[in-house]
Structure 1
Amino acid sequence: MARGVALQLLKYCPGFYLAGVSNRHLDGAARMYREAGIDEPVSVTQQQQFDSAVERGEYCIMEDPKLLCACPHLDVIVEITGAVEFGAHVVMDAIAHGKHVVMMNAELDSTIGPILKLHADKAGVVLTNVDGDQPGVLMNLYRYVKGIGVKPVLCGNIKGLQDPYRTPTTQQAFADRWKQNAPMVTSFADGTKISFEQALVANATNMRVAQRGMFGPTVDNGEHIDNAADWYPIDLTQHPTGIVDYVVGATPGPGVFVLGTHDDPTQKHLLEMYKLGTGPLYSFYTPYHLCHFEVPTTIARAALFQDPAITPTFGPCVDVIATAKRDLKEGETLDGIGHYMTYGQCENADVVHADKLLPMGLAEGCVLLRDIPRDSTLRLSDVRLPQGRLADRLREEQNILFFNSKAGI
């Protein structure tokens, strides 16, 4: 994704200056520039060295992201790692230096996005996730539907596969085919990624989930999303906040959709005339999401208009909880997102806090204090958290501010 964003900014978006790329391996950072036709970016290690290079309009690579965050000449920091702890440090450093932050990191955003937004608000900068990825595309569609007077009652994602027991081993061939990282594509297949993404949408719209894990109906034969009103086992017109959810196997995929209602008889008559059906639920959809192609739009919205594409306006509404992918044993250390031990499920944030459930974004590195059967939800009392993590401290701060409680992370 970072390579795609860099290519888009450098070759196809006049008016943007990609001053620097930070990466753990400098050859990876240099590759981003090289693929866009810039063969000799400058390697920098010191702040003054980088700042001077930016003044000259040079392109720079570095290992330390702090150089980017502290540079006085930059407007926006784009964080594209998917790593919660590392991303938390970068985002907080960028905010501290008065930079707008564009995150392509649903894992971080769904875990501690609300508290990061409060820090950004206090600093007078924008914190936003991106257009192009499904949450941002869905948020744009939500705004459109709401803007024409239709009340959104379900924000949905269209998936092609959902199997919580997928692992990097089962997904390796797919990852190789598309030159992707196996754990990353595993997080798509096992439901963790869509859980993070729908939590973002909920936190931006004040929606909830109707049940743990969402409904996620599977439809056969590529049934069109216009029929989605029939796939959910609740009366969506009566839900107090509306819900986030998803569907597997519908067309057009991999898009997003919104179901909405309208109370005005005249408008309902005209919606039927415009071929949206008789209601009470009307289907709106975007048939694709183009990921990195649309990220520059988010950057421009933040820098020029202080307008976030999608941000946790309503605080923690939906969270993602860690669930055992296999039988887990006391003493084991939990591996990362999209690996072998856990998958994520959506749950309403007040339930997560009250029941002291383990957030998926904080699960990596935790040591199990007892055996956990497969498909059991992990609790904070089941694990020992790693020491000294910034993400844990921010999560505690988030709980205090939004739930007025210090009763655990």
Structure 2
Amino acid sequence: MNLDSKLRRRAAEGKPVRVGIIGAGKFGAMFLSQAGHHPGYHVLGIADLSAERAKASLKRIGWTEDRYAAKDAASALKDGTTWITEDSDALIEADGLEVLIDATGSPAAGIRHALKGIENGRHLVMVNVEADVLAGPLLARKAEAAGLVYSLAYGDQPALIAEMVDWARAVGLDVICAGKGTKYLPAYHHVTPDDVWTHYGLTPEQAAAGGMNPQMFNSFLDGTKSAIEMAAVSNACDLVPQDHGLEFPPCGVDDLPRVLSPRETGGHLSRKGTVEVISSVERDGRPVFRDLRWGVYATFEAPSDYVARCFSEYGLLTDPTGRYSAMYKPYHLIGLELGLSVASAALRGEPTGAPRAWSGDAVAVAKRSLKQGDTLDGEGGYTVYGKLMPAAASKAAGALPIGLAHGIALRKSVAPDQVLTWEDVAVDETDPTYRFRREMEAAFGG
């Protein structure tokens, strides 16, 4: 509430929220499109590995060249234009910057940018959910200690789920389960970038013409992105994953209270206070009626007979007991909604969701038989997929996080669908990202 009026007040005072973004891909471009339509935001700078790629993104979203003609941060600050650079450190250090967005998708880069942002007094919006799941609880703690905001990215599903969970709890309802929808079949866990496009109804040539990255799209299909996003929700909402991880039950919006309720009352959940992803297709491939493929949900329990009666009186769908009901949002608008996180951090000093504990983890699982000496290729690749685990179970098993399962060799062979461990890989223990992850594990303990 009231963020628009607060933003317009800042604009009228000549002090728009000055924001810098690292990564001008699809998510970043969507935010930049909307930021250009509101006077309360000033995009001070954009950092990308390729300045030309960033300029091409701005051209696609309709920015004219004069809007990003600044030769440096000082001139951008002076005349209200945008500076484009390939030097992310220079952007983070720029005078006047208030909010830093990391939209790189690289866990190592995200952690490094966040730490430098904290060092320079910047609020942080972490679009990079891979970095958040790898070490977000410790980043959030360090930001808070410095008097800064560390926030999940509104528009992305974890922040929208966190908002729904907060709504339910704030009105006195116990959250039973929270999550999102996706298209899932068990065989998808073993899909590789070579055959991913057949599942999207595209040819490789069509995908290439659209600039689509097969490894990125494969991470959505093979379950990795679902595992990562639900780990983020677990950590932001104090929801503990089920011991088996995600089951992906087929479920439409009308069946949310029935399916996402405890087993003892006929549902699919092994515990209350957990997360789950529901599939938009039945196991035989038939579409689910009124699916929630693009949306998010939360199920909750009536704390009394009176509240259960209110559910019925006001038309809420319930499970057969009448005690479990649900709210859902059918769509999410990705980067188009990201400005809410920027405004909330700068104007309220509040995140749109942030990790509070280490409750869930996304770990690496072998897609196929892997041999000693094979090199892992990370999220959406040929060698591993991500699986959700309770953080305590992950730590006890010494499981390898999916965010570090890239560019490292196996010390021993592993079987298909086997969870990889630290003992299975030749990790560089001097690597800063590895060391920060281990510091997070020690600090939070699962």
TM-score by length of 1: 0.91
Q: 1:6 corresponds to which letter in structure 2? A: L
1:227–1:349 Cα change, 3 Å: closer
Aligned to 2:341: 298
Aligned to 2:351: 308
Aligned to 1:283: 326
Partner of 1:74, secondary structure, is coil
The match for 2:302 among 231, 238, 262 is 262
Can you list the C-alpha shifts for 1:137-174, whole angstroms capped at 9, x where unaligned?
11111122223322111002111234111221222464
Q: 2:244 corresponds to which letter in structure 1? A: R
Aligned to 2:51: 26
Aligned to 1:243: 274
1:228–1:191 Cα change, 3 Å: farther
User: 1:50, CA displacement in angstroms?
Assistant: 2.4
Asked whether 1:226 is paired with 2:249, we answer no
CA distance in 1, matches of 2:332, 2:86: 31
Comparing 236-245 with 317-326, greater Cα deviation is found at: 236-245
Equivalences for 1:62-73 in 2 at 5 Å? 62-73=85-96
The match for 1:110 among 129, 133, 137 is 133
1:227–1:98 Cα change, 3 Å: closer
Aligned to 1:407: none
CA distance in 2, matches of 1:30, 1:150: 47
Equivalences for 1:373-388 in 2 at 5 Å? 373-386=415-428, 388=430
CA distance in 1, matches of 2:136, 2:264: 30
CA distance in 2, matches of 1:386, 1:225: 49
Partner of 1:164, secondary structure, is helix
Partner of 1:353, secondary structure, is helix
Asked whether 1:336 is paired with 2:346, we answer no
The match for 1:210 among 242, 247, 251 is 242
Can you list the C-alpha shifts for 1:221-247, whole angstroms capped at 9, x where unaligned?
xx4343442366734899776101111
Q: 2:52 corresponds to which letter in structure 1? A: D
Partner of 1:288, secondary structure, is coil
CA contact (8 A) 1:225 1:257 kept: no
The match for 2:212 among 142, 165, 180 is 180
CA distance in 2, matches of 1:118, 1:136: 18
CA distance in 2, matches of 1:231, 1:92: 38
User: 1:252, CA displacement in angstroms?
Assistant: 3.2
CA distance in 1, matches of 2:148, 2:259: 42
Q: 1:403 corresponds to which letter in structure 2? A: G
CA contact (8 A) 1:117 1:127 kept: yes
The match for 2:401 among 342, 354, 359 is 359
Asked whether 1:78 is paired with 2:101, we answer yes
CA distance in 1, matches of 2:125, 2:342: 7
Aligned to 1:171: 196
User: 1:328, CA displacement in angstroms?
Assistant: 0.8
Partner of 1:58, secondary structure, is coil
User: 1:102, CA displacement in angstroms?
Assistant: 0.5
CA contact (8 A) 2:177 2:260 kept: no
TM-score by length of 2: 0.84
Partner of 1:334, secondary structure, is strand
CA contact (8 A) 1:81 1:87 kept: yes
CA distance in 1, matches of 2:364, 2:208: 27
Partner of 1:365, secondary structure, is strand
Comparing 69-78 with 234-243, greater Cα deviation is found at: 234-243
Q: 2:215 corresponds to which letter in structure 1? A: P
Q: 2:35 corresponds to which letter in structure 1? A: L
User: 1:25, CA displacement in angstroms?
Assistant: 0.8
CA contact (8 A) 2:249 2:279 kept: yes
Can you list the C-alpha shifts for 1:173-232, whole angstroms capped at 9, x where unaligned?
64447643211111000000011111111111111111233221135xxx4343442366
Q: Percent identity?
A: 28
User: 1:397, CA displacement in angstroms?
Assistant: 1.2
Asked whether 1:325 is paired with 2:381, we answer no
Q: 1:26 corresponds to which letter in structure 2? A: A
CA contact (8 A) 2:260 2:299 kept: no
Partner of 2:375, secondary structure, is coil
CA contact (8 A) 2:177 2:272 kept: no
CA distance in 2, matches of 1:210, 1:332: 31
User: 1:365, CA displacement in angstroms?
Assistant: 1.5
1:241–1:268 Cα change, 3 Å: closer
CA distance in 2, matches of 1:102, 1:164: 30
Partner of 2:177, secondary structure, is strand
Comparing 361-370 with 162-171, greater Cα deviation is found at: 162-171
User: RMSD over aligned Cα, in angstroms?
Assistant: 2.1
- Structure 1: segments with no counterpart, 5+ residues: 405-409
User: 1:53, CA displacement in angstroms?
Assistant: 3.4
- Structure 2: segments with no counterpart, 5+ residues: 1-26, 201-206, 281-287
Can you list the C-alpha shifts for 1:107-148, whole angstroms capped at 9, x where unaligned?
110110011111111111111111111111111111222233
1:14–1:119 Cα change, 3 Å: same
CA distance in 1, matches of 2:70, 2:191: 39
CA distance in 2, matches of 1:402, 1:346: 18
Can you list the C-alpha shifts for 1:341-362, whole angstroms capped at 9, x where unaligned?
1000000101111111101111
CA contact (8 A) 2:375 2:410 kept: yes
Aligned to 2:293: 253
CA contact (8 A) 1:55 1:73 kept: no
CA distance in 2, matches of 1:265, 1:232: 17
Can you list the C-alpha shifts for 1:53-82, whole angstroms capped at 9, x where unaligned?
323323111101111111120100111011
CA contact (8 A) 2:244 2:389 kept: yes
